[in-house]
């Protein structure tokens, strides 16, 4: 029975019969308002979802801590007790992919702020050729003292440069940044000599030092077909040159756009992989006893559990990052904690898969373990290639 309000009229909208109570005695249709407000739909959706009698909490408890039980009972016909697998997967996937956007990570935020400060500190420009690729304050002092008075940096400018370099050294130490050729005091703008020094991208013997898309198109069109890149190579190469061209000449950073595109399309990829996972289960079990539908139910509940644990991992990371607000040296501790939590959740998921398979398919312990190991290997192989194609697909979309 729905929570929609009853209609004031007593005629059934489906068959026209008189309706004295809530349901039509002729066709059984509920005599309720068919166009409720949006607020009514949303409020009752969450009421139905989280009500103590809705089965949501029982579904969560059974799904997460009793691997395979919910699948076994659902397939045996006990379906009213639990949230339907499709509805549960849609809800869980929605939460899993949107919640991280609203959770702060204070350690990462602190690190990004520090990196920004580092970049600002590196904006020190000096035309003296004796002071290039300086790594430390000690090196700066040594060069300054070894030079004749006329070749040195003026005192007031030297103090400013020294102060900036001290800041950079401290930030580099805090971030454990690797030195990449030293701290260059004579930096060029993107519009300056650094662009002239850009050598371009080489994509093979016939595509050397290409700097722009126009240059790539010209070379590609001028080559005979047998010497050209294949279709995929040309598409990927052109996109790579386009990104590098925009980065070098227009200072456009694609990293955030790539991340945004990757995350945006990931739910579609996972949803696409559901029938593949179910198919691998179907391959290793008796076709007469187990229908593809049965494997689909197992897949939906298992993937829902996996997404819940991934979301739980994200929540924990957000909570344990809080000390990073006031503790500048907390990052190393945070990394260790994150690694331990990640291993614990990953380990439980592996155990979960073994246990759920044994409970649902009722095979002997060792036979179940062998099948699960094969399934893990097959799915890891499949996920690897799906990941490769998805990464290429994402790269082409940006």
Residues 131 and 96 in one domain: no
| pLDDT in the model for residue 185 | 42
Residues 338 and 384 in one domain: yes
- The DSSP result for 304-316, as a single string, is HHHHHHHHHHHHH
| pLDDT in the model for residue 38 | 61
Residue that finishes a domain, picked among 145, 175, 205: 175
- Give the residue numbers spanning the domain of 209: 193-250
What are the tokens at 6?
């009853």
In terms of pTM, does the model score above 0.85? no
**Residue whose pair of structure tokens reads 């370099």 in the numeric block:** 165
**Residue 15 is assigned to a structural domain of this protein:** yes
How far does Cα 54 stand from its chain's mean position?
31
Residues 273 and 367 in one domain: yes
Residue that finishes a domain, picked among 229, 250, 271: 250
**Residue 185 is assigned to a structural domain of this protein:** no
**Residue 45 is assigned to a structural domain of this protein:** no
| pLDDT in the model for residue 361 | 93
**Residue 40 is assigned to a structural domain of this protein:** no
What are the tokens at 352?
């979960």
What are the tokens at 40?
């009514």
Number of domains the chain contains: 4
**Residue 89 is assigned to a structural domain of this protein:** yes
Long-range contacts of 100-109 (CB under 8 A, 24+ apart): 100/314, 103/314, 103/315, 103/318, 104/318, 104/321, 105/317, 105/318, 105/321, 106/321, 106/322, 106/323, 106/324, 106/325, 107/321, 107/324, 107/330, 107/331, 107/334, 108/321, 109/324
Strand partners, 183: 134
Residues 380 and 265 in one domain: yes
Reported residue count of the chain is 398
C-alpha to C-alpha distance for 118 and 167, rounded to whole angstroms: 8
| pLDDT in the model for residue 302 | 95
Residues 197 and 123 in one domain: no
Residues 302 and 352 in one domain: yes
Q: What is the pLDDT along the chain (398 residues), one digit of tens a residue?
A: 555 677 778 888 788 888 888 888 888 888 877 665 666 666 666 666 555 455 788 889 999 999 999 999 999 888 878 888 998 998 898 888 888 777 776 665 555 555 444 444 444 455 667 776 666 777 778 888 888 887 788 877 778 778 777 766 665 555 444 344 444 443 333 344 444 556 778 887 888 888 888 888 888 889 888 888 888 888 888 888 888 777 766 666 667 677 767 766 777 788 889 999 999 999 999 888 899 999 999 999 999 999 999 889 888 988 888 887 777 677 788 888 989 999 999 999 999 999 999 999 988 889 999 999 999 999 989 888 887 888 777 777 77
- The DSSP result for 90-134, as a single string, is HHHHHHHHHGGGGS--HHHHHHHHHHHHHHHHT--B---TTSSSB
Residues 338 and 292 in one domain: yes
CA distances from 121 to 125, 159, 181 (A): 11, 14, 17
Residue that finishes a domain, picked among 175, 209, 227: 175
Residues 72 and 205 in one domain: no
| pLDDT in the model for residue 35 | 60
What are the tokens at 138?
């000690």
Residues 93 and 110 in one domain: no
CA distances from 19 to 3, 33, 34 (A): 18, 14, 16
**Residue 244 is assigned to a structural domain of this protein:** yes
CA distances from 339 to 185, 200, 328, 334 (A): 37, 38, 19, 9
Q: State the first-to-last Cα distance of the chain, in angstroms, to the nearest integer.
A: 47
C-alpha to C-alpha distance for 262 and 391, rounded to whole angstroms: 8
**HSE-CB for 257 with a 13 A CA cutoff:** 9
**Residue 367 is assigned to a structural domain of this protein:** yes
Residues 260 and 145 in one domain: no
Residues 221 and 162 in one domain: no
Residues 232 and 359 in one domain: no
| pLDDT in the model for residue 120 | 44
Rg (CA), the chain: 31
**Residue 187 is assigned to a structural domain of this protein:** no
CA distances from 353 to 88, 191, 204, 240 (A): 18, 56, 45, 40
Helix axis angle for 292-320 and 331-361, nearest 10°, is 160
């Amino acid at each position: 029975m729905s929570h929609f309000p009853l209609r004031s009229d007593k005629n059934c909208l489906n068959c026209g019969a008189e309706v004295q109570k809530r349901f039509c005695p002729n066709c059984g249709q509920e005599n309720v308002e068919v166009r409720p407000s949006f607020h009514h739909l949303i409020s009752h959706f969450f009421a139905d979802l989280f009500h103590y009698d809705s089965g949501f909490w029982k579904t969560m408890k059974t799904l997460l801590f009793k691997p395979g039980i919910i699948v076994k009972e659902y397939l045996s016909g006990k379906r009213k007790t639990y949230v339907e697998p499709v509805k549960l997967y849609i809800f869980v996937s929605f939460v899993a992919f949107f919640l991280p956007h609203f959770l702060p990570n204070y350690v990462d935020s602190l690190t990004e702020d520090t990196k920004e400060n580092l970049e600002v500190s590196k904006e020190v420009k000096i035309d003296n050729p004796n002071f290039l690729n300086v790594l430390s304050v000690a090196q700066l002092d040594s060069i300054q003292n070894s030079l004749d008075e006329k070749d040195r940096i003026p005192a007031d400018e030297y103090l400013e440069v020294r102060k900036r370099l001290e800041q950079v050294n401290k930030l580099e130490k805090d971030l454990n940044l690797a030195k990449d050729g030293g701290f260059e005091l004579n930096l060029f703008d993107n519009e300056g000599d650094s662009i002239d020094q850009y050598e371009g991208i080489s994509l093979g013997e016939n595509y050397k030092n290409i700097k722009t898309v126009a240059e790539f198109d010209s070379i590609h069109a001028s080559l005979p077909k047998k010497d050209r890149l294949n279709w995929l190579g040309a598409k990927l190469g052109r996109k790579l040159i386009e990104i590098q061209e925009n980065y070098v000449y227009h200072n456009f950073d694609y990293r955030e756009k790539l991340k945004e595109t990757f995350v945006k399309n990931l739910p579609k990829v996972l949803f696409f992989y559901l029938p593949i996972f179910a198919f691998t289960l179907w391959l290793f079990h008796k076709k007469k006893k187990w229908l593809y539908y049965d494997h689909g139910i197992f897949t939906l509940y298992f993937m829902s559990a996996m997404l819940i644990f991934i979301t739980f991992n994200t929540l924990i990371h957000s909570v344990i990052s809080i000390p990073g607000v006031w503790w500048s040296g907390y990052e190393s501790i945070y990394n260790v904690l994150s690694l331990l939590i990640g291993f614990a959740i990953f380990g439980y998921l592996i155990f979960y898969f073994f246990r759920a398979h044994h409970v649902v398919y009722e095979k002997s312990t060792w036979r179940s373990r062998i099948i699960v190991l094969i399934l893990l290997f097959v799915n890891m192989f499949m996920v690897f290639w799906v990941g490769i194609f998805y990464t290429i697909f994402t790269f082409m979309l940006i």
